[in-house]
Amino acid sequence: MSENRSDAPLREDIRQLGGLLGSTIHEQAGETVYETIEEVRGLAKDARAGDGAAAEALEKRLGELPDEMIVPVVRAFSQFLNLANIAEQHHRVRRSRAWVRDPDTGPLRGSLEEFFKRMLPDTEPDDLYNTIAHLDIELVLTAHPTEVMRRSMLQKYNHIAGLLDEGDRVDPTPEEIEEVHQALKREITAAWETDEIRRRRPAPQDEARWGMAVIEQTLWDVVPHYLRRLDRMLQRQTGKSLPLNAAPIHFGSWMGGDRDGNPRVTSAVTREVCLLNRWKAVELYEREVGELVEELSLQCASDELRDWVGDAWEPYRTALKAVRDRLLATRHWIEARLAGRRPAEGLIYWRADELREPLMVCYRSLHESGAAVVAEGRLKDLLRRLSVFGLTLMRVDIRQESTRHTEVLDALTQALGIGSYEAWSEEERQRFLIREIDSRRPLIPRDFEPSDEVAEVLETLRVIAEMGADSLGAYVISMASKPSDILAVKLLQKEVGVVSPLRVVPLFETLTDLQGAQTCLEQLLAIPWYRQHIDGFQEVMIGYSDSAKDASHLTAAWALYQTQEQLVATAREQGIRLILFHGRGGSIGRGGGPTHAAILSQPPGSVDGRLRVTEQGEVIQAKFGLRGIAERNLELYTTAVAEATLAPPQPPEANWRALMDQLAETSCEVYRTLVRETPEFIDYFRHATPEHEISHLAIGSRPARRKPTVGVESLRAIPWIFAWTQTRLLLPAWLGIGEALRVALENGHEAELQRMYQHWPFFRAFVDMIEMVLAKSDPAVAAWYDNRLVPEALRPLGAGLRDRHAETRQTVLTVSGHDNPLDEAPVVQRSVGVRNPYVDPLNLIQVELLDRVRHGHEEDLREALMICINGIAAGMRNTG
């Protein structure tokens, strides 16, 4: 009962937002549209409740909708689902702080308060402090095409969330309640009258600006507020303060740097994005310093500050005005560069330390002059921001496919008349690369005339030399498999004159590459030159998306776990520090899932105070779009990484490993037999899902396919998952798991599987995520697509997939011991239940639209189809 009472505010928010949307539609679209939507909504709710007659009536009613009525109906259900998402996000914030008012409820799992309370009895305060103070967590924002909503709509929805927060104030007056109600009505009306569809595909620069906006609108203020909380908690529990220069969580970006398979990301784009990041950072610092100029009118000052400003009447203002002037000059310098002009010479800020120095002089002066309480306010927040964001907000990684570097070196060796690099063996390549790295003579001839593709790779490397290490992060090599792939980038950076070379990070993605990652690392570390030049540090990236698409979700998950174990063991044997970079997607089929549980389920020793992880597409908005949610996610990352470092899980028992090997082998065989070896599968996939139509969505700068072929192997992992999410079958997340578990159960392993679920965090987290997939998926909805869109000869394949889904559900529940998916997560269960009656009509309309579009009405209905795709994505809470 208490749980239901605690959710009463959420239900009230959804009721209020839904009512306001209904009245808006009535006023803006008219009585006929409103009544049609209400009729559809009533039928959908009755159908979902089990009324067969209502289900038939719903399908018939939607099939008869005239073209002009489809768009408003689809928009209505789509917008309701987005409003429900806002209400749920706000309720998460409400629950995270409810325990402060009612201590009997206790803090949420993974909060700072819960973490310290649980860890301290068994952890020395000094160990806890040192772990927190030295955390190195980097969240890398990526622009994968998964965010389907326009920024204009996101901003309106964020305003609505802010108004819900205002409505939660204690004892509001009737006038205040009415004011919030009217403001909500205005925002919902504005959202209804706003076009939610992107009319053009975003450029990489647009994606980069979107990433900057996330920092400016939420993280810029959330980070210092969160670090103050963390500082207070450390002082209270350990007696020590968080170091002023600590950046336990900081941010990177692939926006404008990820050129793997994206011809629109060029060297010019990377240069522009690096400058844009600097421009936005300088603008934000300029604003903050301006506020400090207004605030710090104090006249007390240390000798150090007096040495800086002389006999100034208001020394802090004098010092900070000089800082503001230099920031302004820096901003103008960057603007000139962005405009293609040669900037005027002048004193600008290029490194964060240059800006930190005068701020620290002011900070120390306030402390020495008896005004420490002033120093600990806005000025300290600014210094914290500088530690986290630097002068570039987020460093941009460069990502490039290994074959592009091979092409460059092959062109060079052929131009030099020494043979074909591409044709050489791995041993020959390594000898050549090491020799040239050690050589003082240039490798690139002055008269070298490269192809456009080779020239672009070299120009990107020159941008690295120009922008420097403060603007850029790592150089990630996708499809890496051999030591020469890494050495090639080391050589090419040297040849174009990179003074501070970027660290080179191999990315192992496919099952074969993951299985060979340890060997590759061992061979790299066996090269004396390489070992000497990495300074005892190696970063390795592991890819979740392509490995799952290649071999099945279960097989990939186990391969990723084993790869991490092997890399950790090799690093320890070789005496180097290893950081693992996790290329996780938003959906469960691409490595997504609850942050806290995912980190705590990693192999022992694989976290060790350090973590890099991608945050992709719509997940960025979901995690960091609202301030309360953003702060909650920062603390989840902090506490999970700290706990995984201080109290790593025990390694799995030998018999559990053997059983996982069997499960992975069966799952991979089932998956590949269907996806790769069943001739009609691709034809079925393209008929049964909107995969082709998704390619027309303007949701990202990258093409949907790496190569112009029709097979799954060339399709990017995101549209592969997106298509199955639309039909609510979610096939990639569970295919192969049911058969693998059935074989294990038939072989007498039921008790062992249940013990694994109870005592092994990795296996429990995996099974729980599959339960979430099973709760959100609906084979009956997928059958609607088959019945209307799939040729009769292919329908048995779809029926077989739905039978596999049922088997997966049964076997997973046998392992977890639950009666229904998510029995231990009733809040998520209810969330799915609320959404289903609103997603169902969108699926039925999508089937109708796909049928009409595929029979010649494409131009008339494309807009409705795009809105429908967006609405289902909102209802499923993820796309790719």
**Residue positions counted in the chain:** 880
In 3D space, the residue among 111, 190, 201 whose CA is nearest the CA of residue 152 turns out to be 190
What band does 358 get if pLDDT is binned at 50, 70 and 90? very high
* 543-556: pLDDT as tens digits: 887 788 888 999 99
Given the residues 90, 250, 490, 549, the one annotated as active site: 549
| Residue 742 CB-density burial (10 A; 0-12 exposed, 13-18 middle, 19+ buried) | middle
CA separation for the pair 812, 767 (Å, rounded):
7
- Mean residue pLDDT of the chain comes to 90
Give me the DSSP letters along 546-579.
HHHHHH-HHHHHHHHHHHHHHHHHHHHHHT-EEE
One-letter amino acid for residue 221 of the chain: D
DSSP 8-state code for residue 582 = E
Q: CA 252 to CA 471: how far, in whole Å? A: 10
Which range has the worst mean pLDDT, 63-67, 105-109, 198-202, 342-346?
198-202
Q: Which of 90, 144, 490, 749 is catalytic?
A: 144
pLDDT of residue 705: 46
Q: Residue 769 in 3-state DSSP? A: helix
| Spatial distance between the Cα atoms of 687 and 568, rounded to a whole number of angstroms | 44
Name the more confident of 199 and 5.
Answer: 199
Mean pLDDT of 60-78: 90
DSSP labels for 334-368? HHHHHTT--PPP-----SHHHHHHHHHHHHHHHHH
Q: Give me the residue label for tokens 């009463």.
A: 8
pLDDT tens-place string over residues 667-711: 999 999 999 999 999 999 999 999 888 876 655 445 544 454 555
Distance CA(174)–CA(3), nearest Å, equals 28
pLDDT tens digits for range 274-293: 999 999 999 999 999 999 99
Residue 879 has pLDDT above 50, yes or no: no
Rounded Cα gap, residues 555 and 550, in angstroms: 9
| CB-based contacts of 284, cutoff 8 Å, min separation 6 | 216, 220, 385, 393
Q: What is the distance between the alpha carbons of residues 281 and 331, in angstroms, rounded to a whole number?
A: 9
Share of the chain above pLDDT 70, in %: 93
Interatomic CA distance for residues 818 and 831, integer angstroms: 18
Question: Catalytic site residue 367?
Answer: no
* SS3 at position 251: strand
CB 430 within 8 A of CB 488: no
pLDDT tens readout for residues 555-571: 999 999 999 999 999 99
Q: What 3-state DSSP class applies to 242?
A: coil
Q: Are 388 and 251 in contact (CB under 8 A)?
A: yes
Query: What are the pLDDT digits (tens) for 175-185?
Result: 988 999 999 99
In a 10 Å sphere around its CB, with 0-12 CB exposed, 13-18 middle and 19+ buried, how is residue 311 labelled? exposed
Q: Residue 224 and residue 244: Cα distance in Å, rounded?
A: 11
pLDDT at 104: 63
Farthest CA pair distance, the chain: 90
- Is residue 549 part of the annotated active site? The answer reads yes
- Please state the pTM of the whole predicted model: 0.92
pLDDT score, position 249: 97
pLDDT band at 856 (very low <50, low <70, confident <90, very high): confident
Dihedral angle sign, alpha carbons of residues 7, 11, 14, 20 = negative
pLDDT of residue 148: 55
CA 495 – CA 446 distance, rounded (Å) = 12
Q: How far apart are the first and last CA of the chain?
A: 36
Residue 535 burial (CB count, 10 A): 10
Higher pLDDT, 859 or 516: 516
Residue that is written with structure tokens 């074989």 in the block: 743
Q: What are the tokens at 384?
A: 């914290």
Number of other CB atoms surrounding residue 66 within 10 Å: 6
Contact assessment for residue 35 and residue 76, using Cβ atoms and an 8 Å cutoff: no
**How far is the C-alpha of 463 from the C-alpha of 867, rounded, in Å?**
39
- For residue 464, what are its two tokens? 């690295």
CA dihedral 511, 772, 49, 67 (to 10 degrees): -50
Nearest to 621 by CA among 162, 150, 77, 279: 150
Q: Give the C-alpha distances (Å, rounded to integers) separating 639 from 113, 131, 244, 250.
A: 10, 10, 20, 15
The three state secondary structure string of 160-173 is HHHHHHHHCCCCCC
CA 650, distance to chain mean position in Å, is: 28
DSSP-derived secondary structure letter, 36:
H
Alpha helix locations (H) across 369-451? 372-374, 380-389, 402-415, 426-438
* Structure tokens, 708: 């112009």
Predicted confidence at residue 699, as pLDDT, reads 54
Q: What is the chain's Cα-based Rg? A: 28
Parallel, antiparallel or unpaired: strands 503-508 and 537-543: parallel
Per-residue pLDDT tens digits for 699-725: 544 554 445 455 565 565 667 888 999
> What is the identity of the amino acid at 244?
L
In Å, what is the CA distance from 353 to each residue of 411, 468, 501?
41, 15, 20
Dihedral sign for Cα 627, 632, 635, 636, please.
negative
Pull the structure tokens for residue 430: 């390594």
415 class by beta-carbon count within 10 Å (0-12 exposed, 13-18 middle, 19+ buried): middle
The domain spans of the chain are: 654-876
pLDDT at 262: 86
- On the CB side of 305, CA atoms within 13 Å amount to 25
Nearest partner of 560 among 510, 526, 520, 609, judged by Cα: 510
Spell 743-775 as b/e; 16+ CB within 10 A means b: bbeeeebeebbeebbeebbbbbbbbbbbbbbbb
CB of 506 within 8 A of CB of 486?
A: yes
Residue 351: how many other CB atoms lie within 10 Å: 12
